[in-house]
Structure 1
Amino acid sequence: MAGVSVRARRWASTVGLVAAWQVASSVGAVEATVLPGPVSLVGTAAGMVADGTLPQALAVSLGRVLVGSAIGLVLGVLLGLCAGLWRLGEDLVDAPVQMLRTVPFTALTPVLVLWLGLGEAPKVALVVIATVVPMYLNTFGGVRAVDPRLLEVGAVYGLSARQRAARILLPGAVAPILVGLRYALGLAWIAVIVAETANASSGIGHLLTTARTYVRTDIMLVCVAVYAVLGLVTDAVVRVAERRLLRWRAAPSPLTTERL
């Protein structure tokens, strides 16, 4: 019952907001051209699915996120390990990454277009940059947070440097890396939105830009909702993977996790 109560509270505000939105739209308190009601948006989304517009755009955006994220995640972990394991690696890698993290996506987009052209490369590159930074930071922090005494014990038992990294450092850094993964995938969707709205002839961002040109608020809101749902689904998938990979961790006490 407690679990049901918590879930009910979490959804109550959202359901109430959507209901109020629909009522305001139905009675004409809000113009449909400014803020269409939820029922109208569902109809618009159904039409976009039926004519293939939304699935096609979704496939393009998803492909960009998957390719860019895969490259960025691997690169971020490798850079984090390099900086976390060796002082020279930190000296070479940390400063450029720290500078890169402060540059907004909107500033990087025109530069990437100038360097890489108008094709897929600048869009994928922006996603790579978006995912590299959080993966690097969390991998670096996770490696440095491992208790040095564990490494000393491993050395006493005759483990080589490679074995200590594989059996002690990496398992100890898994939790921070997974946190970085959640954050990185969220940033990946933000990056692809920026890239597609700035320069794209396909994808959800292109639909959003075209809808803005023709003042189709309903299509714009459908695109925003799709991005939001994709972000939630991505986060949920990583959460499931996190629970499976970290089963060895002790479960938190209900006294510390229960919310009033």
Structure 2
Amino acid sequence: MGGFFIGSIIGILLAWLSYREKYVEDILKPFITTLKAIPVASFVIILLIWAGNKILSLYVSTLVVIPVLYLNTLSGLKATDPKLLEMAEVFRMPMLRKLCYIYLPSLYPFWNSSLQAALGMAWKSGVAAEVIGQPLKSVGNSLYQSKIYLETADLFAWTITIILTAMILEKLILKVLKMCIKV
């Protein structure tokens, strides 16, 4: 979850910067394209070498989530109705009000779908990082141990736990998003 939240915040902030300053979008384009293209296993192995296995899943989840939120947020910002923005300028609407009444409603459908996708990807990549990195007392380590010792019941139990946790958190995050934006 930490990687999901950190990646979401970074992705959203970078998208906002790219929306405000075109050169930032141009600078970030190759990095975002690279982040989208690198396989999770490569991230895991590279980060395992550089950072060790303690918070490997945090790093991997963060790097997987950033491009999803960046691209969807940037698309949502670019899709904001220019007539509404022009009206806001004419009436000298403060930035906070523009954010609340123009940008956030425009971003809602983009965030709704991207948060669902990013959360699923964060869980899968985080667990995959734990399976490869083997930090003690982690879900990934438990999955790996159940594979090694052919404990099918444990494997299914951990898999179901991951699925249920992801589903509950997804519903919670989408409910909070809906409450915050008041669509």
Check whether TM > 0.5.
Answer: yes
Out of 49, 62, 72, the residue aligned to residue 7 of structure 2 is: 72
C-alpha change, 1:164 and 1:86, in structure 2 (3 Å) is farther
Rounded Cα–Cα distance in structure 1 between residues aligned with 2:5 and 2:174: 18
Q: Which runs of 5+ in 2 are unaligned?
A: none
Matched, 1:109 2:44: yes
Cα 1:237/1:202, change in 2 over 3 Å: same
- Determine helix, strand or coil for the equivalent of 1:158: coil
Instruction: Report how far residue 130 of structure 1 moved.
Output: 1.6
Structure 2 Cα separation of the partners of residues 159 and 247 of structure 1 = 19
1:88 Cα deviation from its structure 2 partner = 1.2
Deviations 1:108-150 (A, max 9, x none): 1110011112322x22100111221211111111100001111
Distance (whole Å) between structure 2 residues aligned to residue 245 and residue 170 of structure 1: 9
C-alpha contact 1:83 1:94 (8 A) present in aligned 2: no
Counterparts of 1:106-255 in structure 2 under 5 Å? 106-120=41-55, 122-159=56-93, 164-165=98-99, 167-200=101-134, 201-248=136-183
What corresponds to 1:91 in structure 2? 26
**Closer, same or farther: CA 243–170 of 1 in aligned 2, 3 Å:** closer
More helix by share: 2
Cα distance, 1:68 vs structure 2: 1.5
Q: Aligned pair count?
A: 182
Q: SS of the counterpart of 1:127?
A: helix
Give the CA RMSD over aligned residues.
Answer: 2.0
Runs (5+) with no aligned partner, structure 1: 1-65, 249-260
- Identity of matched residues, %: 22
How far the C-alpha of 1:184 sits from its partner, in A, is: 1.2
Secondary structure (helix, strand or coil) at the match of 1:118 reads coil
Higher relative contact order (CA closer than 8 Å, sequence separation 6+):
2
Could you list the structure 1 runs, at least 4 aligned residues long, displaced by more than 6 angstroms after superposition: none
